Chain A
Amino acid sequence: MHGTGDFDDSQALLEQVNQALENATPLRIQGSNSKAFLGRINAGEILDTRSHRGIVSYDPTELVITVRCGTPLAELKQVLDAAQQMLPCEPPAFGDDATVGGMIACGLSGPRRPWSGSVRDFVLGTRVITGLGKHLRFGGEVMKNVAGYDLSRLMAGSFGTLGLITEVSLKVLPKPRQTLSISLDMDSERALRNLAKWGQQPLPISAASHDGERLYLRLEGGEGSVASAHERLGGELMDGGYWDDLNEQRLPFFDEDQPLWRLSLPHNTPKLSLPGRQLIDWGGAQRWLKSDSQASFIRQVVDETGGHVTCYSHGLIDSPFQPLPDALMHYHRSLKQQLDPRGIFNPGRLYAEF
């Protein structure tokens, strides 16, 4: 399987990393920069991953695909699509040229996440250029592998702070035979109560969102289960394009001028009273907030639920990711020190401390 522009550029990437190690030059790893808005502003010599691209192997009956980091996410999706398969975690792209490396490093998942699992849940293996200047392989192309520490899954969501992900093997799944989206007229309090109740039943729900007015549900599965769930839940049929618009933040909600905050909560958290507007995703476990409130205030409210807050408006505050308790920060720094002793990989992107 070869696409246009396929190229193994790992040698050049390794050389750039080794040069940076030698000179202790911080690197700023980037693909298309589609998610540069997320995290702290980090300076450094640019390491562009896009020359290292292509699908290395894909056997649909093995349910595994191995891809180089610079491969466009759109190309990966297209290849899976042709085999009637998908990345169940529905990673958002936030740009036409988003790369697979960025998708893993940011670890963001879409509307199906509470039912299917997150990006890290589908990572089976990685190749990584490390802070010791070596190109190494962890995990593999098999579903089950518990040999050694799980460094592959640790890489997901690490924002490039632990090393350069050059290749990833992902578990993929067949697309559901039937998909249908419905909208129901109910307020958010009732929607959250219903979702908590339905969650205890074997219903084929694969996405649930509330925009302040209506509850939107996606049903996926076999023809029989989808039809019977639709019959039971009622509601109006709607265009499934809603889910992509929600995932890519193209709904009108996201256009407003106020800062955008992501609230990650236990899914059965009742409606949260905060100044501004809210949009519920992940059946209640992810809520978007458009608000001028102070970060400290929002975090205080969310802390009480056991959740955490990320600021999605670039540069608004110095710590867009929720600050860590001291003991946990200590071990984050310790791990960074061990895996990237010269501190060259995206220093400061996650937290100022490492």
Chain B
Amino acid sequence: MNILYDERVDGALPDVDKAGLLKALQTQWPDLEVLHQQEELKPYECDGLSAYRTTPMLVVLPRDIAQVQGLLRLCHERHVPVVARGAGTGLSGGALPLEKGVLLVMARFNQILHIDPEARTARVQPGVRNLAISQAAAPYGLYYAPDPSSQIACSIGGNVAENAGGVHCLKYGLTVHNVLQVDILTVDGERLTLGSNALDSPGLDLLALFTGSEGMLGVITEVTVKLLPKPQSAKVLLAAFDSVEKAGRAVGDIIAAGIIPGGLEMMDNLAIRAAEDFIHAGYPVDAEAILLCELDGVEADVHDDCSRVRQVLEQAGATEVRLAKDEAERVRFWAGRKNAFPAVGRLSPDYYCMDGTIPRRELPGVLKAIAELSAEYNLRVANVFHAGDGNMHPLILFDANQPGELERAETLGGKILELCVKVGGSITGEHGVGREKINQMCAQFNSDELTLFHAVKAAFDPSGLLNPGKNIPTLHRCAEFGAMHVHAGQLPFPDLERF
């Protein structure tokens, strides 16, 4: 167990009667699938962040909402923590199980309930895969816009819980911009509908509050998403640069020209070479950076925008600008980017993906600082970047079998995130805090801000049973973390007692 995320820092583990709970579940719902033996529990010990593992106490796989409701009530009565999990593709350990908690797997809720082409909505169960929604909407010429790289596997319930993004966020928004209504169960099993089929609903915007709340406020049981008409045309330009700074400036120039690309991605040399080796996308392997710029919309506009962007890129000093000559080449250009993580994974036994965001103007300085940190910690870092919206994904390469390398990778990752906060950014753009970035939350928020977050939590889950230990650190954790991690001789929480 690693000190950086050890749940014991947040206090003693709850005293839970596993056998009693199991018996109660089996008596109440004889056909409810409950996993309780070590070998059955093992596959659920982690989500997409496989460096962090905990064997859950029990895994429950309900098939109807009444079972979820009953489970929540039972756990609430018995003070048993519950962690909800969708497809388990999250990259921040948001669905990391608890030793003394139930893992509630929502994957069986995988039905698309209704596609309404006139209303341009899809009503789906939470376990439906992101891509499955677009596939079901395709016959009507519609699609669901947010497209996280894991869209083939990740489920919509998890997308809402994490406020998932993707490569088209700048133009089409995050999950929060594309969801109309969410049904949830509260910690004691009460059903609430947030949002509506209209564009707004009376009262406070609890839909916005719940989106991205990482399973801390309720369990999602149904989601209605907006569908959009598929753009008529999409074209991709690939531009090569001999420096990352120039590529970074080119991004600003495109936006200054009044153009909002559908997607705008940057990769550095290490990422380019890895992707090219793996996918053979046709990337220029000598370039220090490439930009992929997708322009989508009505045919005539896309054509005009392509010439405008080409001109901007050339003026910004691109050594080469290539327009994907056909759909096959466009798909290949994207395949290189979408497979950048596994491609980098081939360079090294393990990699650790960061998710900080920064104001774009800070890019050159931040990349330079990352290079310095990379040298200091003696670990290679490849940079993949949603350049349009300032979301960086530095990939730290390491070998977990080498003693100390995981810890060094984690420390380096933490430094990169703190750097993002320092330049006015955030520790996470789309992957969530989960368990992974729980300590860096202490760098982004002060104790009064964290106290207010805890107040929000208390409004919905006063007993703290939903996904405890994730998303919002305890003040005690921040004091502990701060003690290990003193900035310029100043403790972040000078007024707190230390243990």
A residues near B, CB below 8 A? 59-64, 84, 107, 113-114, 117-118, 120-121, 130, 132, 134, 136-138, 140-151, 153-154, 156-158, 161-162, 173-175, 177, 196-197, 199-204, 221-225, 227-229, 264-268, 282, 285-286, 306-308, 310, 321-324, 327-329, 331-332, 334-335, 337-339, 350-351
Contacts and interface: CB of A to CB of B under 8 A. Distances in A.
Identify which of A60, A144, A221 gathers the most chain B CB atoms within 10 Å of its CB: A144
A162 B204 contact: yes
B199 A147 contact: no
Contact of A202 (B198, B231, B429): B231
Given A154-B205, A264-B198, A148 B301 contact: no
Interface string B218-261: 00000000000111100000000000000000001101101110
Contacts of B304: 222-224
A227 B298 CA distance: 11
Given A225-B300, A265-B198, A331-B460, A144 B357 contact: yes
B260 A143 contact: no
B389 A200 contact: no
29 contacts: A61-B252, A61-B255, A117-B173, A117-B177, A120-B208, A142-B357, A144-B165, A144-B169, A144-B430, A146-B428, A148-B471, A149-B457, A150-B163, A150-B213, A153-B205, A154-B204, A154-B206, A156-B205, A174-B258, A174-B259, A201-B141, A224-B303, A264-B201, A266-B119, A286-B199, A306-B197, A322-B202, A328-B206, A339-B456
A337 B391 CA distance: 35
A306 B180 CA distance: 12
Interface in B315-360: 357-360
Contact of B118 (A114, A196, A265, A350): A196
A306 B204 contact: no
A120 B204 CA distance: 11
A300 B43 CA distance: 51
A192 to B, nearest CB: 10
B390 to A, nearest CB: 5
Given A132-B448, A331-B459, A200 B117 contact: yes
B478 interface: no
Contact of B208 (A153, A264, A285): A153
Given A224-B300, A324-B202, A144 B471 contact: no
Contact of B305 (A138, A222, A307): A222
Interface stretch (B369-377, B419-427, B484-492): B419-427
Contacts of B142: 200
A158 B205 CA distance: 7
A339 B193 CA distance: 22
Interface in B469-498: 471-472
A136 B433 contact: no
Contacts of A203: 229
Interface of B: 116-120, 140-142, 162-163, 165, 169-170, 173-174, 176-177, 186, 190-193, 196-206, 208-209, 211-213, 216-217, 229-232, 252-253, 255-256, 258-260, 297-301, 303-305, 357-361, 386, 388-391, 424-433, 437, 441, 444-446, 448-449, 451-453, 455-460, 471-472
B182 to A, nearest CB: 13
A352 B396 CA distance: 54
A117 B425 CA distance: 23
B456 A113 contact: no
A265 B201 CA distance: 9
A151 B20 CA distance: 39
Nearest to B258: A174
Nearest to B164: A146
A225 B446 CA distance: 48
Given A136-B448, A151-B452, A224-B301, 10 more contacts: A107-B205, A121-B177, A143-B169, A151-B456, A177-B258, A200-B117, A225-B298, A227-B300, A335-B456, A338-B458
A285 B203 CA distance: 18
Contacts of B198: 264-267, 285, 306-308
Contact of A306 (B196, B432, B448): B196
Contacts of B173: 117, 121
Contacts, number: 275
Contacts of A264: 196, 198-201
B121 to A, nearest CB: 8
B120 A199 contact: yes
Contacts of A137: 449
Contact of B449 (A136, A228, A306, A350): A136
Nearest to B449: A136
Contacts of A310: 202
A88 to B, nearest CB: 10
Contact of A337 (B116, B120, B459): B459
B201 A308 contact: yes
Contact of A143 (B208, B390, B444): B390
B259 A338 contact: no
Contact of B174 (A144, A175, A204, A308): A144
Contacts of B141: 200-201
Contacts of A147: 426-428, 433, 437, 441, 444-445
Identify which of B163, B212, B216, B424 gathers the most chain A CB atoms within 10 Å of its CB: B212
Given A146-B430, A148-B445, A202 B471 contact: no
Given A117-B173, A306-B196, A157 B301 contact: no
Identify which of A61, A134, A138, A334 gathers the most chain B CB atoms within 10 Å of its CB: A61
B361 A62 contact: yes
A60 B118 contact: no
A161 B203 CA distance: 11
A156 B200 CA distance: 12
A84 B258 contact: yes
A222 B260 CA distance: 12
B424 A141 contact: yes
B169 A225 contact: no
A143 to B, nearest CB: 4
Nearest to A341: B455
Contacts of B212: 146, 149-150
B141 to A, nearest CB: 6
A143 B264 CA distance: 14
B310 to A, nearest CB: 15
A63 B256 CA distance: 9
Contacts of B118: 196-197, 199-200, 268
B169 A321 contact: no
Given A200-B118, A202-B229, A339-B452, A324 B203 contact: yes
Nearest to B256: A61
A148 B300 contact: no
Contacts of B437: 147
